[in-house]
Amino acid sequence: MRVLITGAAGFIGSHLCERFLKEGFQVIGMDNFITGSPDNIAHLFGHPKFKFIHYNVINYIYLEGPVDLVLHFACPASPIDYLSHPIHTMKVDSLGTLNTLGLAKLKRARYVFASTSEVYGDPTIHPQPETYWGYVNPVGPRSVYDESKRFSEAMCMAYHREHSIDVRIARIFNTYGPRMRINDGRVIPNFITQALKGEPLTVYGDGKQTRSFCYIDDLVEGIFRLSTEDGLSGEIINLGNPQEVSIIDVAKLILELTGSSSKIVFRSLPADDPKRRCPDIKKAKELLSWEPKVSLKDGLKITINWFKQMLRKGEREGEL
């Protein structure tokens, strides 16, 4: 089995490359490094079943030989990243989705799309089931991400209906773990880095907004099952951890786990920042027999250790 993974040098993509290699797949990783890094996949170079192509997926994709599975994960995912690359973000989840779907059609490959809880916008239903259509501001700053993911989902379903492509859509909720960047801008890397450096933790708004954080290994297991189990053509499935937590409580937990004496400071809330977010994972439980296993506390402990190593590495490199 040969799988193409776009966004292979990113946080989630690099973990997926590892998992599919471990399961015996031949993996073709594709990335243009806009928000990813070769460091995330350096250990895979030289693996006999791994091939990397430095490429921008908004351009036509040509691959020789068979492809059985396409995982389209390329796309800046941190709000800071997609707000600094708004047009690129829209291209990667329109032209990039079109090109990867076109490849799947040509090769008769199964297709898995990395969608997001952001398709639900600032939800009016709680927790969010897959049947909820969302509440999205189509012209706000976040719309570059939300609307292109919604467009991509519509495109996946059009290829499914018109060309009978076996598409599966993962609506991924906030995921965290090793290989997120120190300057990623997402809340967990920000708080951990700030706590470890003794800087104030920047809570946006009053910190009462909630998110539900899934540890990377749990997510990868869900994506792997969604990609490899039969009978899921055309399915849309939420993947996330239903343990909902307020952002202020995340800040306090990270202070406790790092033993940091950093203060908490409050900054203005970004436009259209969702107030509550929590996945309804009934469908994932039923169809994939999947649910997250790693608690926020345990996942954070591993992630904090990883950030400690990254900060030490940065210090050593700074000294050279």
Cα–Cα dist 185/80, whole Å: 6
Q: Does 202 bind ligand UDP (CB under 6 A)?
A: yes
CB of 141 to ligand NAD, least distance (A): 16
Q: Which of ligand UDP, ligand NAD, none lies near 31, with the C-beta cut-off 5 to 8 A by kind?
A: ligand NAD
> Among 9-17, 122-130, 184-192, 214-222, which window interacts with ligand UDP (CB under 6 A)?
184-192
**Angle at Cα 173 formed by Cα 179 and Cα 269, nearest 5°?**
90
Residue 89 one-letter amino acid: T
Select the binding partner of residue 146 from ligand UDP, ligand NAD, none (C-beta < 5 to 8 A, by kind): none
Among 270, 282, 291, 302, contact with ligand UDP (rule: CB under 6 A): 270
Shortest distance (Å) from residue 273 CB to ligand UDP: 5
Number of neighbouring beta carbons within 10 Å of residue 166 = 19
- Shortest approach of ligand UDP to residue 40 CB, angstroms? 19
| Using rule CB under 6 A, residue 172 touches ligand UDP | no
Q: Which of ligand UDP, ligand NAD, none sits in contact with 121, Cβ below 5 to 8 A by type?
A: none
The token pair that represents 139 in the structure block:
């012209």
Q: In angstroms, give the least distance from the CB of 56 to ligand NAD.
A: 4
Residue 247 interacting partner from ligand NAD, ligand UDP, none (CB closer than 5 to 8 Å by kind) = ligand UDP
Contact yes or no for 138/90 (Cβ under 8 A): no
Residue with tokens 């290994």: 217
Contact 209, 251 (CB under 8 A): no
In sign, the C-alpha dihedral spanning 278, 196, 193, 264 is positive
Q: How many residues bind ligand UDP (CB under 6 A)?
A: 14
Specify the 3-state DSSP secondary structure of 278: coil
Binder among 72, 91, 186, 283 for ligand UDP (CB under 6 A): 186
Told to check if 89 binds ligand UDP by CB under 6 A, we report no
Alpha helices per DSSP H over 26-66: none
Is residue 291 within 8 Å of residue 281, measured between CB atoms? Answer: yes
Of 17, 44, 247, 310, the one binding ligand UDP by CB under 6 A: 247
Distance of CA 255 to the CA centre of its chain: 25
Instruction: Decide if residue 187 touches ligand UDP (CB under 6 A).
Output: yes
Give the shortest CB-11-to-ligand UDP separation in angstroms: 12
Q: Where in the sequence numbering do the catalytic residues fall?
A: 145
Distance from the Cα of residue 116 to its chain's centroid:
8
CB-facing half-sphere around the CA of 27: CA atoms within 13 A:
30
- Judged by the rule CB under 6 A, the positions of this chain that interact with ligand UDP are 79, 174, 186-187, 190, 202-204, 209, 211, 247, 269-270, 273
